[in-house]
Structure 1
Amino acid sequence: MVNVKSLLCGPAEKYDVVSRAIMTGASVAHFDLEDSVPLNRKSATRAAILKQLKHAIPIPTAVRINALNTQFGLEDILGFIHQNVAPDIMIVPKVESPETAKIAGEILKEHFPETRIFCVIESIKALKSLDRIILEPDFIQGMIFGAADFSGDMGKVPSALDLTYAKTQIALAANQINAVAIDSPCFQIHDVLRLETECLQARALGFHGKIAIHPGQVSRINQAFAPTEHEYTFSKNILDTLTGPDERNSSSIRTVGENMIGPPFIRIAEKIVKSME
């Protein structure tokens, strides 16, 4: 599982996504080719992103392409192939079946085997198809909740809905296949309290990170999804107590401080300590 807390998303033609992502400490510079780009600017925006990706970028990159069942989505994929360049993460929207993930995965595996695929779950159909979508786990390294389109399916704005059930199902599906679960952006870009509330809820449900649509959101997202000082200290104590690999791989129950721990706690401790290194 890759360590992704924050993806700073922005249209490539409006500002330098990479420099802002680096400046704010975002985990990933996230280019958008879909919703934020009008139809008559798709080709030009794609060309601008491809040009940037040809240069060495000191931060992981992601590109959200257009849906694969559209002309623009196919042109996006062909553009990467023809230019022989791709981001670290390809974000595939409108995923409602395992076939979509498989098509994207097989194409990328042939040309860009190191590129990971994050699927956007953003419709009622997609949510109800999660058990089928994760039948292609080799092609899915991340799942992103698309709250805006999902809420549109429900006929309401995101803030008028309780999205806990949908988020829970996505987090469970992602973690089942050891994929990263990423929460939808907070659309109230200057509402700090709402952002923090959304982050804490998503983290409690099992999400690993969240998309930022404004540079000012990144630091709070990073802080919310990082292990707390208590979690890190507790995890470090577990690993320091179990000094050898035999002890860490043991199935027996141990006592660390006032806590009884078993194999699940050891696996969690290893993940938390590794994420802080």
Structure 2
Amino acid sequence: MLRLSASGSRCLLRHQPRHPAQVLFVRLQHVSAPASIEETPRLRRSYLYVPSSDERKLNKSLQTNSDVIIYDLEDSVDERSKDLAREKLHKFLTDPEIVLPFRERIAVRVNAVSTRHFKKDVETLIGINGISTIVLPKIHGKNDLDNCYKPICKKLEKTRNFKGPLNIVASIESAQALVLIDRITNWEYKGKRKHAVLSGLLFAAEDYCADTSITRTKNFQELLYARSKIATYARAYKLEAIDMVCTALHDPSQLQLECQSARELGFSGKQAIHPDQVETILNTFVPSDKEIERAQKILSQMAESNKEGKGAFGLVSESGASEMIDEPMVKQATNTLRLAKAAGKIPTD
């Protein structure tokens, strides 16, 4: 675990390169560290799917350290097993003998609103206090969210002592959804009570490729536009941005590559279809030791510059190169340390 060392950071930052012209400065007007650095966010990096039709996997899910567990009633359950899977999941989530994960970690992916299974899923599972999040598949526009919300709202109005609101994650699976993503992210049901809120966007890459006739490749460049747009809109509306599934189950290097790409694009987490994928996802969607050290240096030097009444400074790297430090970079450093604290990589006290 890294610890903030102000004195050590100052020594490194006072070192000047051989060529002073390399140093770039910017006036910061006495920027101070935002108070939000002390606010530890709740991390939701890994979203592990668990088929609700498989009792063994339901029980095994209690052992995973995934930030979010998605108990699935849709794609991983064949048509003939839908009713049985729903019954098994209800029993599992309401069994007083089972010690479930914290409520914030439990999500359920229901069947699409266009299917005959959706209303049954809602009637059976919505209102169980152990569930914090509902993943809604095949959301192609605002109307799909409205049509999903109405029966959910109706059920919750009849549920006593529900610990709401319910989080809704919209699954982006089609060209239409991508074109209408502004309406999806701006969705707010105009009902009397806000029983559920949109909390995230999830990219269903395989469905999207099927809809758009895109051919998947190992470098996934064909999905750059869609992924960038989803991540950007999610961030604009302060929603979680959840990246696609890595289907290469036995290729850890491919998973690592996808995770790193997702983080660079601004995604906050990634879906997993096997427990072995979880650890890589958890470790990638947090700042590295080098990123933490750099952020600490920036904030330490910023505080020193403000204290001395100086409005400009440059950051010198280990290689001797220097870079301009401006206010957006200070914000980035603050966010880096907030995430590091949430992940337990630096102390919170």
| TM-score (structure 2 length as normaliser) | 0.68
SS in structure 2 of the partner of residue 90 of structure 1: strand
1:159: how far off?
A: 3.1
Partner deviation per Cα, 1:22-80 (whole Å, 9 max, x = no partner): 44x31112211001112221122112222222354234111111112222112111212
> Which residue in the other structure is 2:27 paired with?
none
Aligned runs of 1:155-194 on 2, under 5 Å?
Answer: 155-159=213-217, 162-194=222-254
Are 2:119 and 1:74 aligned? yes
1:164: how far off?
A: 0.8
Task: For structure 2, list consecutive stretches of 5 or more residues without a partner in the other structure.
Answer: 1-40, 190-196, 317-322, 342-349
Partner deviation per Cα, 1:192-214 (whole Å, 9 max, x = no partner): 22111111111111111111111
Letter in 1 for 2:208: F
Instruction: Give the whole-Å Cα distance in 1 for the aligned partners of 2:177 and 2:60.
Output: 34
Q: Which has the higher helix share?
A: 1
SS in structure 1 of the partner of residue 92 of structure 2: helix
Closer, same or farther in 2 for the Cα pair 1:2/1:76, shift >3 Å? farther
| Number of equivalent positions | 269
Letter in 1 for 2:134: M
> Which residue in the other structure is 2:201 paired with?
143
SS in structure 2 of the partner of residue 95 of structure 1: coil
Name segments (4+ residues, structure 1) moved above 6 Å: none
Worse-superposed segment, 98-107 or 87-96: 98-107
Answer whether contact 2:201 2:241 (CA < 8 A) is retained: yes
1:267: how far off?
A: 3.6
SS in structure 1 of the partner of residue 52 of structure 2: coil
Are 2:336 and 1:272 aligned? yes
- Which of 21, 26, 39 in structure 1 is aligned with 2:79? 39
Which structure is larger by alpha-carbon Rg, 1 or 2? 2
Instruction: Give the whole-Å Cα distance in 1 for the aligned partners of 2:263 and 2:148.
Output: 28
Answer whether contact 1:17 1:29 (CA < 8 A) is retained: no
Instruction: Give the whole-Å Cα distance in 1 for the aligned partners of 2:188 and 2:284.
Output: 27
Letter in 2 for 1:90: I
Instruction: Give the whole-Å Cα distance in 2 for the aligned partners of 1:17 and 1:203.
Output: 29
Instruction: Give the whole-Å Cα distance in 1 for the aligned partners of 2:167 and 2:59.
Output: 19
SS in structure 2 of the partner of residue 66 of structure 1: coil
Worse-superposed segment, 133-142 or 174-183: 133-142
> Which residue in the other structure is 1:52 paired with?
92
> Which residue in the other structure is 1:12 paired with?
52
Closer, same or farther in 2 for the Cα pair 1:197/1:264, shift >3 Å? same
Instruction: Give the whole-Å Cα distance in 2 for the aligned partners of 1:74 and 1:224.
Output: 37
Q: Superposition RMSD on alpha carbons, in Å?
A: 2.9
SS in structure 2 of the partner of residue 117 of structure 1: strand
Task: For structure 1, list consecutive stretches of 5 or more residues without a partner in the other structure.
Answer: none
- Which of 267, 280, 289 in structure 2 is aligned with 1:220? 280
Instruction: Give the whole-Å Cα distance in 2 for the aligned partners of 1:255 and 1:53.
Output: 55
Higher-RCO chain (CA-CA 8 Å, sequence separation at least 6): 2
> Which residue in the other structure is 1:115 paired with?
166
Closer, same or farther in 2 for the Cα pair 1:271/1:39, shift >3 Å? same
Worse-superposed segment, 60-69 or 132-141: 132-141
What is the percentage of aligned positions where both structures have the same residue? 29
1:180: how far off?
A: 1.0
Answer whether contact 1:65 1:93 (CA < 8 A) is retained: yes
Closer, same or farther in 2 for the Cα pair 1:153/1:227, shift >3 Å? same
Letter in 1 for 2:229: Q
Instruction: Give the whole-Å Cα distance in 1 for the aligned partners of 2:254 and 2:74.
Output: 26
Closer, same or farther in 2 for the Cα pair 1:209/1:84, shift >3 Å? closer
Answer whether contact 1:10 1:17 (CA < 8 A) is retained: yes
Letter in 2 for 1:189: L
| TM-score (structure 1 length as normaliser) | 0.84
Answer whether contact 2:186 2:237 (CA < 8 A) is retained: no
Answer whether contact 1:95 1:126 (CA < 8 A) is retained: yes
Aligned runs of 1:231-250 on 2, under 5 Å?
Answer: 231-240=291-300
> Which residue in the other structure is 1:126 paired with?
177
Instruction: Give the whole-Å Cα distance in 1 for the aligned partners of 2:280 and 2:233.
Output: 26
